[in-house]
Copies of this chain bind each other. A is one copy, B any other.
Amino acid sequence: MTIDVSTRPAAAVSNRLGIADCDIHHSPRDFKMLYPYLEQRWREHLDLFGQRPRQGNASGPQYPKSQPDASRRDAWPPCGGRPGSDLDFMRSHHLDANNIELGVLAMIRPHPGGLQNLDLSAALCRAINDWQVAEWTAPEPRLKASIVVPYEDAAASAAEIDRWAGHPDMVQVLFLSRTVEPLGNRRYWPIYEAACRAGIPVGIHAFGNGGQPTSSTGWHSHYIEDMIGHSQSCQSMVSSMVLEGIFARFPELRVVLIEAGFGWLPPLAWRLDRTWSRLRAETPHLTRLPSEYIRDHIWLTTQPMEEPDPAEHLRHTMEWIGMDRLLFATDYPHWDYDDPQAALKIRLSAAEREAFFIGNARSLYMPQTASASVTAAGVA
C-alpha cells in the first residue's frame, strides 16, 4: 500500500518570475536546539513532563506514515536532520531552485500555542521566536518569520507581539485554526488588538488541537476526513470572526488563512449574506454585509490549490475572492506541496500572475518595498 505522491526533483530551471512562498515550514533539527533560547526552569520542565498537547484530538500525529515528517521524500537534508531543519539545504533545494524572493516561515511543528500549560506555551513561543530570527531570518534575508503566540492566553500573546513590534523580520502573527473556542470570541480579541498595534497581519494556519471532535457529529474514521474537515473548521472560524464583529471592532485587522483552501469561501459568504440580511438584529455590532468584511479583511494562501472540474470554476472563485487576496504558497517541505511550475491550472494575465505569485504577498507583508519589487521582478 503506497501513498500516491511523486518525489519531485528540484526544478531544473529557475522561474523567470520571482516568487513569494507564503507557507514554508522550518523546524529545529532536534527539539533541544531550542534549549539555548529557554530558561533553565523550562528546560527542566520539558525534560520531566514533556509538552502535553491538549487532549482529545489526535489530528497532529495522523500524517501519512509513508511520508515521514509529512514531508516530500526528497526534502530530507543530505547532512541529516528533519525536512525544513537545514537552512543551507532549503536554500538550494527550494529558495534557489524555485526563485523564491520572499519566503514566509510558518512554524507549526511544533507550534506550542495549543499546549495545556499556558506558561510553558508562552515560554516556548518566546524561544521559537528568538531562535527563528537568530538562526533563519538573520542569515537569510529572503526569509521572513511569523511570531508564534500562546494563543489560548491572549494577554501573553499580546505581550509577545508587542515584544516584536517593528522588527523587520517578523511579518505576521501566527496561530492555528482549531482552538479551544471559536476564534471570534472575545478571549482572543487582545491578540487582534496587538496585531493592529504592530501593523502586521494575523496568519491562521489550518490544523491544531482544541480538544473538540473534528466534526459537529463527533469523530470520523479516516485521515482524509481530517484533511477535508479542516476546511469546515475554517468556515466556522470565519463565520465566528465576522459575526462576533472582529472586523468591525478592529478595522485595521488583516487575517491570512494559511493552508485552509479557498474554494469554500464564496458559498460561505453567500450564505452569510443571505442569512444575516434576515437576522441582522442579533448582531447589531455589524454595519456591513458579512461578505464586505470578508473581502476587505481576509487573505488566503493557495496551497492546497483548488482543482475544480471544469477548471474555469477556479477563475470564478478567484475573481469572487479578489485577485489581490490570494497568496501563492507551496507548503514546502510537506508531502502535499504545490509546485509553483504546475500549481495553477488556468491562464492568468501577466499582471494577475505577478499579483498571484509575488505582488500580493509583498503588498501585505512588505508594504515598504512593494512598489519597488514590481519593477525588480521584471514581469513581462
Contact = CB atoms under 8 A, between A and B. Distances in A.
Interface of A: 1-5, 64, 177-185, 210, 212-225, 227-229, 231-233, 235-237, 239-240, 243-244, 261, 263-264, 266-268, 270-284, 291, 304-309, 313, 316-317, 320, 336
A280 to B, nearest CB: 6
7 contacts: A179-B217, A184-B221, A220-B240, A221-B243, A228-B235, A229-B236, A231-B267
A275 B222 CA distance: 12
B224 A279 contact: yes
A239 B263 contact: no
B266 A313 contact: yes
Contacts of A64: 279
A181 B218 CA distance: 5
Given A263-B270, A278-B336, 19 more contacts: A181-B218, A182-B215, A184-B220, A212-B215, A215-B233, A215-B236, A216-B232, A220-B236, A220-B240, A221-B244, A222-B243, A224-B276, A261-B271, A263-B266, A266-B313, A273-B307, A274-B304, A274-B307, A291-B309
Nearest to A289: B309
Contacts of A278: 3-5, 336
A278 B215 CA distance: 22
B239 A220 contact: yes
A237 B267 CA distance: 17
Given A212-B213, A277-B4, A222 B282 contact: yes
A216 B228 contact: no
A200 to B, nearest CB: 23
A262 to B, nearest CB: 8
A298 to B, nearest CB: 16
Contact of A264 (B229, B268, B291): B268
A1 B281 contact: yes
Contacts of A277: 4
A345 to B, nearest CB: 11
B272 A267 contact: no
Given A182-B215, A263-B267, A274-B304, A279 B231 contact: no
Contacts of A309: 270, 273, 291
3 tightest CB-CB pairs across the interface, nearest first?
A263-B267, A215-B236, A232-B232
B182 A220 contact: yes
Contacts of A235: 228, 231-232, 235
Contacts of A179: 217
A223 B180 contact: no
* Chain B CB within 10 A, most for which of A180, A224, A273: A224
Nearest to A284: B1
A301 to B, nearest CB: 15
A24 B280 CA distance: 26
